[in-house]
Amino acid sequence: MDLDTLKIDLKGLKEGLNSFEFDLDDAYFKAVNAPEVSCGSVHVSLDIVRTESDYFTLDFHEEGTVIVPCDLCLEDMEQPFETSQRLEAKFGIEYSEEDDLVTVAENEGILDVTWFVYEFIVLSLPIKHVHAPGKCNPAMIKALEEHSATRISEEDERKPIDPRWEALLKLKK
Ligand SMILES: [Zn+2]
């Protein structure tokens, strides 16, 4: 998709309701260089109401599926989600964000919602995401268990020597 379509020309909007639809795909997630989500398929509807006094209310609705690593086996898994969020915007001298109110530089009049859309998706994902029971990759689970087992025994070996023993060893020398 063309990311420029997520740059909303507020000045060009008519008073009242303006509706937009976007379909985000893997190219979107690559383009935002997303840390948590690297691919997915998401439908976004955005309703913007412009008042006579140039105040903007943006209602986002996003739903779809993103690919995230499973917390248990670390393999990719599909995480479905649905979320609605609201932003408000007005014109000002320069760009700033305060809570859910965005001030857009009036001489440009453009509000880029690319990153907002991404944040809303990530906020709506459950903190813990795991495969359905039995759907984890068994080989990965086994490898991870073995790995954590070796880690523990290495820690045992690194335990500091009892200071009394250390004193005795010195005496021997
Ligand atoms: Zn899993």
* Distance from residue 70's CA to the centre of ligand 1 (Å): 5
Angle at 172 (CA atoms; ends 169, 173), nearest 5 degrees = 95
* CB of 8 closer than 8 Å to CB of 50: no
* Distance from residue 138's CA to the centre of ligand 1 (Å): 8
CA distance readout (Å), 138 to 73, 74, 142, 150: 8, 11, 6, 19
pLDDT of 81 reads 95
Angle at 144 (CA atoms; ends 78, 66), nearest 5 degrees = 10
Residue that the structure tokens 């070996």 belong to: 157
Residues linked to residue 47 through DSSP beta bridges, in sequence order:
19, 59
Model confidence pLDDT, tens digit, residues 77-101: 999 999 999 999 999 999 999 989 9
* Distance from residue 44's CA to the centre of ligand 1 (Å): 28
Distance CA 120, CA 148 (A): 34
pLDDT of 49 reads 98
pLDDT of 36 reads 84
Checking DSSP bridges between strand 16-24 and strand 55-69, what pairing results, if any?
Answer: unpaired
* Distance from residue 133's CA to the centre of ligand 1 (Å): 8
Distance CA 137, CA 127 (A): 20
* Distance from residue 155's CA to the centre of ligand 1 (Å): 27
The answer, yes or no, to whether residue 3 has pLDDT greater than 90, is: no
Model confidence pLDDT, tens digit, residues 114-157: 999 999 999 999 889 899 899 999 998 888 888 887 766 665 66
Percent helix, strand and coil across the chain, each to the nearest 5 = 30, 40, 30
* Distance from residue 142's CA to the centre of ligand 1 (Å): 12
